[in-house]
Chains A and B, each alone.
Chain A
Amino acid sequence: MIDTDEAAKISVRGLSAWYRDNQVLRAIDMDISQHGVTAIIGPSGCGKSTFIRCINRLHEMVPGARMDGRIAVDGQDVHGAATDPVLLRRRIGMVFQKPNPFPTMSIRDNVLAGLRLTGDRPSPARANEIVERALRQAALWDEVRGRLDTRGSGLSGGQQQRLCIARALAVEPEIVLMDEPCSALDPVATAKIEDLLHELRERYTLVIVTHNMQQAARVSQQTAFFLAGELIEYADTDDIFTAPVDKRTEDYITGKFG
């Protein structure tokens, strides 16, 4: 806590990460503020997904993966001896690239999965309340309210992804990490999710990884540009897209590579 920014929700210092001998992140320093949406952009393989997977310690589940450095959430060391990764992950929701509702569960059970998986057995009344609240927050309630007991995998791709968002929100996290949540979706479904991000940013710390620069410009207040495992530039989104400081950032956002 000596050199981290106390005001930041997530504070990263000297973060490096490897898959076996392959270093994918190099000494990242970054502070993510509590409010608003932080976008992480960069070409494929630049380490942006690994970066958010380090925050909820999912990275360490991959065989051969390791990391070094310090990540603090609300000043608490994510890797500290006193930190239980399971409890940590309850504060940090995650939405994956491919919509992945649990195939054996209904829509309702998918929303409640986070609670039930962790041994919480809400009363029927409270369960209904949680399901409705989470689905409303994910802007899915009106589309599925009549078929909560049908299978989640029967929904369209965009609906499935909003169901996954509802599932993440149902456990009332403080932070929601999104790993290219729209890359498997059509433009209409993408627009719905982007609208949703505007609603959610009031209540949650949102970090979204995207390879779509227009999306980053539309939804985020802060943008970080990653290249080959390094954080090249991190600033207000408006500044990054109108007046990038680094030549490489400019080349990337103007489409010269990537």
Chain B
Amino acid sequence: MKLSLGKWLLPVYSALALLFLMIPIGYTFVYSFNDSLKSNIVWRGFTFDKWLNVCNVQNGAVCEAFGNSLFIGAVATVVATTLGTMIAIAIVRYRFKFRSQTSLLLFLPMATPEVVLGAGLAAQFLSLGVPKDMLTIILAHTMFCISFVVVTVKARVASLDPALEEAGRDLYGSAAQVFARITFPLLLPGILAAALLSFALSFDDFIITNFNSGSVTTFPKYIWISAARGIPAEANVLASAVFILALVVVVTVQVSGAAKARRLAKLT
């Protein structure tokens, strides 16, 4: 495509598009070093203070919200990954009634706008008289993560060679042994990817959380509440730290995956 005119057009455009995606990230990172007062809007000079004393602002409200988000993300991830992996195995490996209904039930939460999911759960909790707290947030997050786990793990289960498990059974492995020693280790990369995705979805969710959190503050909710009067630079520090950590994890996974592929290529 476009060989004469556009030998450089497409690469340059792509670089600019990626640069465009990076602008708000760069802004957030740079302003985490701003020697700001209450609100972090005007540049007042460079400082490491906010990175060194993250929890000192507003009696540690930012850090408390951040901790809540970590806790909620961890619990929701464990529950959603377990339930979702079980469903994924069943869908790929077994025959059962109501198959298309099950697929629809798994697809719908992904096709429903978050505001509807959030309002629906909140209406249910309201009519049952359930008080909104940490538990209701976890229940909500687990719900929307399950479908994403199923989609991610399903691909991995489908690519698994059933002959490997048969070999295990031929060698007198019990069903539990075959699962623990063969199936689970082979599925692990898919399960880990699903867990990471769940955690990321839960950690950054605001719309559903806002409807089901009561007085509990998560990190995104803290930013929402503070947006009117100004976000302290400490929020930028925490967000930037998470960004760097996630980037390191993803790059490590990519590089080790590439290295593994190269080793395998050498063997064959």
Q: Do the two chains bind?
A: no
Residue ranges of A at the interface with B (Cβ–Cβ < 8 Å): none
